[in-house]
Amino acid sequence: MDFPSGYWAWCSASVTGHGLLCCRARCGFQRNLPPNRLHYRINRPTVTASTTQPFDYLEAILTAPVYDVAIETPLDEARSLSRRLGHTVLLKREDMQPVFSFKIRGAYNRLAQLSPEQLACGVIAASAGNHAQGVALAAQTLGCKATICMPATAPMIKVEGVRARGAEVILHGDNFDLTNQYAQQLALERGATFIPPFDDPHVIAGQGTVAMEVLRQRKHMDVIFVPIGGGGLAAGVAFYVKRLKPWIKVIGVEPTEAASMAESLTAGERVRLPHVGLFADGVAVRMVGEHCFALCQQHLDGVIRVSNDELCAAIKDVFEDTRSILEPSGAVAIAGAKAWAAAHPESQGMTLVAVASGANMNFDRLRYVAERSEVGEAREAVIAVTIPEQPGSFKSFLQQIGNRAITEFNYRYAGPGAAHIFVGVQVGNRDEARNLVSQLSAQGHTTVDLTDNELAKLHIRHLVGGRADVDNERLLRFEFPERPGALLNFLNSMSAGWNISLFHYRNHGADYGRVLVGIQVPSSDRAAFQSFLDALGYEYQEETDNPAYRLFLAS
């Protein structure tokens, strides 16, 4: 299928689990993706100028004074990852900036445009962390007072990083949207200049200096992968690359839980997501910027979505090659490069550049990353197996596992007839995991593959230990804001007649806590219970029919 220049196509590939958004006939993805479930929807892009005087992005990138505070970061080969993928993978090490993120480039370039009078009045920014640190350092360098509004759930490593650079920190709101609204209102009240995190031409131009360095550092490359949150970095990089070397593909990468650019490009207009996942908090943006969208719509070659498990695997990959630890949003582009390589097995020996965009990692989050990285790399299978409760059956099961390394094992007597086993097994790839499930099933063991089951991976693996005889139990998985009073608010909102029959919470170092709750709700209260869920305002997922719950916890 050929696409006229300037048209968009949406491709969904169930084999790899990746959605790929492509534009322009030159990208050629439509012939490379797995053949099943390829869907195309064509939208003519409508790019409108937001000002009567077009902004000269090329001149702004070439003359951006970012090196007053930023450094030219190296373009390092990830040798181990390159060998595994069959491509030369180069990492643009923006995690080595003074604030451990590329955000210093756009922040400083924006502040450098202010007059002495504007600098004297101070600046205000809203950010979950990386932009905040960039603005704080830029303001400190220019002798300007900076006030940074951050969500109350912002990681403390980023809050302390902002304070260490002399900025005033105001914690306000439970999410970026509320914080951003407050910051803009505060800027009006104080007469200060608001510094946008991404949707500003000078911010975009500052981020575009990343591409200027990449093209100078390497003469030949095939694809550049760029993380997308609000779209400032992707817009700047895509514009600069397409102006100078249009044959190089520029691919944006987003988490599946925060794919605002992919949704917007598919719709042909900016789309506001109802909610976003916060694991990769640096790119958790519900709506991309207006300027960013226009540039990405015109210059970006596509968008790949990646899962949280794939982000964890990418963090591990970078650590093994560099001994550096990226934050989840900093590893987005690397995860995208791996997903692209997996979707194009026939392409070998190409040069892939991935922007390692940040390293402001909360130490507490490393436990979760280590736990999920093997699954994200498809090197661990998580399965539930039912065996007869009789002598010798346990030994027979272990013989079927063979010499594979067992990463986790939970066994519990479940009654006189059968026992359920929750086991993690190290495998070479997803095909080996499927073959193991088939092998166990062929031996007469009822086997369920839980590798992609979020309930099993987040909660059940820590709760295996027996069933409870509980009537009218509803099981729900919530995302609680990590702030004082969140649980009390939940309990106060509940009806006094509903009993909590199960509760599991484990801190993963994220902005939101993952909580599993069992509640006894009589059938006569179903409507009232739904009203309670709707009014609560917390994201949730009903898990009452989840097979992992039915096997290990339900009566």
Task: Find where tokens 């709101």 sit.
Answer: 173
Q: Are strands 249-255 and 302-306 parallel, antiparallel or unpaired?
A: parallel
CB-CB contact of 414 with 385 (8 Å): no
- Residue 144: C-alpha distances to residues 8, 124, 141 (Å): 44, 11, 8
Q: Is 329 exposed, middle or buried (0-12, 13-18, 19+ CB in 10 A)?
A: buried
> Which one is catalytic: 103, 249, 316, 457?
103
Q: Is 357 a catalytic residue?
A: yes
Token representation of residue 453: 């089951």
Reference 100, options 52, 49, 137; nearest CA is: 137
Find all residues with CB under 8 Å of 130, minimum gap 6, and list them.
99, 100, 101, 103, 158, 282, 329, 358, 360
> Which one is catalytic: 127, 260, 357, 373?
357
Alpha helix segments (H runs only) across 323-466: 332-343, 366-376, 393-401, 430-442, 454-458
DSSP 416: S
Q: Is 441 a catalytic residue?
A: no
In angstroms, rounded to a whole number, what is the distance separating the alpha carbons of residues 259 and 298?
18
- Residue 518: C-alpha distances to residues 503, 531, 536, 547 (Å): 6, 17, 16, 15
Quote the strand ranges of 414-533, DSSP E: 418-426, 446-449, 473-481, 499-506, 512-520
Active site residues: 103, 357
